[in-house]
Amino acid sequence: MEIYVKRFVQLLLEENKKQNLISRKAGPEEIGQHIQDSVQVLQWVSLADQQVIDIGSGAGFPGLILGMACPESQVTLVESDLKKSAFLQQVCDELELKNVKIIRERIETLGQASGHRNRYDYCTSRAVAAMRVVLEYGIPLVKQDGKLLLWKGSSYQQEIAEAQTALKILGGKVEDVYLYNLLQERDRAIVVVNKVRSTPQQFPRKIGEPAKKPL
């Protein structure tokens, strides 16, 4: 993985000069923290031989990094932005990551697509939206007893409280919370949501509605 990560950092720094994938001021050290944050989940969860979908992949955190770290898993990265998805594809092509697939599509559309709904073992999401919004994006994508892994900051308890209605409607249940610290940020959390029953067919709602009118 180390060789992959080194080249990924080079490509990201080059591309970040053209478009804001991460902060313009970000250097290798800050990117290293994003990478560390992405792989933190592997302390608790094995993604070996699992179907994983990462929503709102952006510059590749956590999905692309997990794809590098877990070559035996199948990782699908969903990124609707043309330039960001093109960057992700460039990295996959150059590093020959055969286990990683890029889809440029809105997540609400995928959640209603027969090839993706109820398909995945895990759905990951980092820095995309409030938990109650991401639940509507992610729960329809995972199998019964599949799990969402949601990267959150110090307000994770408040987000969980605000998401209770969404959990009830969509068929999810908070199963665990993994707590950890990064060098410059304390109280990081990965919230684990288990899909305990099927999601009603009307969810996710049409494009834009989950964010505008959260459950």
The CATH number covering residue 62 comes to 3.40.50.150
Q: What is the pTM of this model?
A: 0.95
Query: Given this model, what pLDDT does residue 93 score?
Result: 97
Provide the token pair at 37. 């944050």
Residue numbers of the domain that contains 108: 2-212
Rounded Cα distance, 160 and 165, in Å: 10
- From residue 47, how far is each of 2, 54, 121, 193 by CA, in Å? 19, 13, 9, 15
Our CA angle for 81, 95, 15, nearest 5°, is 45
How many domains is the chain built from?
1
Query: Given this model, what pLDDT does residue 28 score?
Result: 84
Backbone angles phi, psi at 172, to 5 degrees: -110, 160
Query: Given this model, what pLDDT does residue 23 score?
Result: 76
Query: Given this model, what pLDDT does residue 1 score?
Result: 83
Rounded Cα distance, 36 and 105, in Å: 27
Rounded Cα distance, 187 and 125, in Å: 17
Query: Given this model, what pLDDT does residue 86 score?
Result: 96
- Averaged pLDDT, groups of 10, the chain, 215 residues long: 91 88 80 94 97 96 98 97 96 97 97 97 96 98 98 96 98 97 82 98 98 97
Strand bridging mode 120-126 / 51-55: parallel
Name the nearest CA neighbour of 41 among 152, 137, 119: 152
Q: What is the DSSP letter of 117?
A: T
